[in-house]
């Protein structure tokens, strides 16, 4: 599974979940400080940054444009618009071969794309748990994300990116292993 295919699958899974939120905007999520609305606000904010970063903008140039509430009175519409714009940027010729500025320096856009894919997939799991539906993370997606990120996860621990890993059985399915490594209890 290549980056753009993985990103498309993660985006589609999250998009389907957004359509199932209904009236559960205040429901708690596995991200203990966030409600469903807060979680969606985070993901919309992430998508809003994509066009800027892929165009070469720095964090300073974008500034605080996407701080605070980016959902307004139409959270689903905000998601649909921001995710469509972000996806359009990702599939432009050469987009994954650029460099982007992120909080810890300049990295390749492909690395940034994998980070965004992981964010969509894992927060998709969070959203699914919050609204009590099936997670969109399948075996193939989880396996690919583990291949890409497992070598980096140990260094991420303690940086506040993810909670400490949660133990799971050796025979747990791959999506459960993935979310457990990222501090979520798949049980």
Tokens linked to 174: 């791959």
Of the two residues 46 and 158, the one the predictor is more confident about is: 46
Residue 166 DSSP SS3? coil
In the chain, the percentage of residues whose pLDDT exceeds 90 is: 86
b/e for 14-30, b at 16 or more Cβ within 10 A?
bbebbeebeeebebebb
Tokens linked to 95: 């987009």
Q: Is the pLDDT of residue 159 over 70?
A: no
Least confident of 23-32, 63-72, 89-98, 162-171: 162-171
In CATH, the number for domain 3-138 is 1.20.120.450
The pLDDT assigned to 152 comes to 76
Q: Is the pLDDT of residue 158 over 60?
A: no
Q: What is the pTM of this model?
A: 0.93
* Residue ranges covered by each domain of the chain: 3-138
Q: Where are the beta strands (DSSP E) in 44-132?
A: 99-102, 105-108
b/e for 74-103, b at 16 or more Cβ within 10 A?
ebeebbeebbeebbebbeeeebbeebbbee
The pLDDT assigned to 186 comes to 93
Query: How confident is the prediction for the chain on average, in pLDDT?
Result: 93
pLDDT band at 162 (very low <50, low <70, confident <90, very high): confident
- Summarize the confidence of residues 57-72 as an average pLDDT: 96
Q: Are 127 and 29 in contact (CB under 8 A)?
A: yes
């Amino acid at each position: 599974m290549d980056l753009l295919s993985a990103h498309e699958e993660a985006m589609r899974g999250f998009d389907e979940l957004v359509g199932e939120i209904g009236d559960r905007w205040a429901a708690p999520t596995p991200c203990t400080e966030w409600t469903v609305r807060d979680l969606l606000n985070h993901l919309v904010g992430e998508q809003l940054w994509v066009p800027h970063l892929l165009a070469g903008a720095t964090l300073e140039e974008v500034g605080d444009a996407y701080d605070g509430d980016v959902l307004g009175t139409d959270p689903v519409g905000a998601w649909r618009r921001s995710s469509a714009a972000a996806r359009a940027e990702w599939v432009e010729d050469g987009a994954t071969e650029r460099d982007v500025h992120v909080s810890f320096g300049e990295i390749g856009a492909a690395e940034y794309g994998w980070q965004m894919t992981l964010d969509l997939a894992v927060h998709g799991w969070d959203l699914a748990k919050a609204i009590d539906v099936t997670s969109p993370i399948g075996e193939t997606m989880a396996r690919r994300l583990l291949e890409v990120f497992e070598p980096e996860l140990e260094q991420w621990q303690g940086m506040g990116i993810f909670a400490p890993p949660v133990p799971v059985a050796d025979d747990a399915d791959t999506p459960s292993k993935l979310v457990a490594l990222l501090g979520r209890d798949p049980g």
